[in-house]
Amino acid sequence: MTYQVLSPDNAHARALDVFANIEGIQLTAGSFKRDQVLSMLAETDAIILRSATTVDAELLNAAPKLKVIARAGVGVDNVDLDVATARGIIVMNTPDGNTIATAEHTFGLMLALARHIPQAYGSMQQGKWERKSFMGVELRGKTLGIVGFGRIGRAVAKRALAFEMTVVAYDPYIPADVAADLGVELVDLDTLYSRADFIALHSLVTDETRYMVNAESIAKMKAGVRIVNAARGLLINDDDLAAAIKSGYVAGAAVDVYAEEPPPDNHPLVGLAGVIHTPHLAASTDDAQISVSVEAAQLVVDALLKGEYKNVVNPAALTIG
């Protein structure tokens, strides 16, 4: 029997190498549009997924033989987990491989925000020399509030401590001693808001965290706070943050992720003075993409050929057969 594996989102070439000498699996890989993906699913046993393809109910229903989805990355918000689970389709992710890339990007955004680096670059590109317009602030001595103290949050904390920042974190699922061992104080959210000069979001989107940055929470933050989001766009109420930036209460924001990607032309934050952007690049390093793609490929091989599953995000699917 030969299993059919589809990799529709341009997985790193190294991931494709994983299948080179494996018998019993046929790989179809490329960068496919949704219509193409839909037309390829009838015989597909497994999908290796990045973030471009949304595996919703329509896609799942077009894939009657689908057994496994391996996400080359952390977030599985582009998979309809309810439908997958009900069908017994096992969804796995690769939570480790892009931790450092994401932490470094967050840090890059924080420095760029503090020193207006993108705006200064843009100004020089226009032939200007505007030293006075781009007065910045140092990170040293400032307090960073990290919301979500998982792998990425902790990696950001280590870097912030090296920059002589004070770090506080909020995460209801992490014991205080894990944070204390790293030199980080675990605090409740209101305390974090009241103390942080910079806030970095590293939470998943849940009912508790969706739109957590909103008019009400911003009112609890320090005036002049700067906010960095390289996690998920849905953590922020964009209209409320835009209003707070326009009023000057929030000094700036750095945004890598958007509720809808790419963001629509009328997105309230895109193009707003005081806001800097990247197009969901946090995990986009060669190192990270090799790591998560190869791991996702191996997850598929082990699942299909050995019945071994790792990093399962919907364990209930294992009981449906």
Which residues are within 8 A (CB) of 136 and not within 5 positions of it... i.e. 6 or more apart? 114, 115, 116
Least distance to ligand MLT, CB of residue 262, Å: 13
Instruction: For residue 62, give both structure tokens.
Output: 């077009």
Q: Which of 178, 108, 183 is nearest to 150 (CA)?
A: 178
CA–CA separation, 110 and 54 (whole Å): 30
Amino acid residing at 88:
G
Residue from 5, 49, 74, 155 binding ligand MLT (CB under 6 A): 74
Least distance to ligand MLT, CB of residue 208, Å: 19
If one asks whether residue 99 binds ligand MLT (CB under 6 A), the answer comes out as no
Which residue lies nearer to ligand MLT by CB, 99 or 143? Answer: 99
Stretch that binds ligand MLT, among 68-76, 167-175, 184-192, 298-306 (CB under 6 A): 68-76
Any catalytic annotation for residue 261? yes
Residue from 8, 11, 37, 50 binding ligand MLT (CB under 6 A): 50
DSSP codes, 247-261: HTSEEEEEE---SSS
Residue from 53, 98, 217, 314 binding ligand MLT (CB under 6 A): 98
Q: Which of 148, 45, 79 is nearest to 312 (CA)?
A: 79
Find the catalytic residue in 164, 216, 261, 308.
261
Any catalytic annotation for residue 308? no
Least distance to ligand MLT, CB of residue 149, Å: 17
DSSP codes, 196-242: -SEEEE-PPP-TTTTT-BSHHHHHHSPTTEEEEE-S-GGGB-HHHHH
Task: Enter the DSSP assignment of 312.
Answer: B
Residue from 89, 147, 283, 303 binding ligand MLT (CB under 6 A): 283
If one asks whether residue 267 binds ligand MLT (CB under 6 A), the answer comes out as no
Residues that bind ligand MLT (CB under 6 A): 50-51, 73-75, 98, 283
Q: Which residues are catalytic?
A: 232, 261, 280
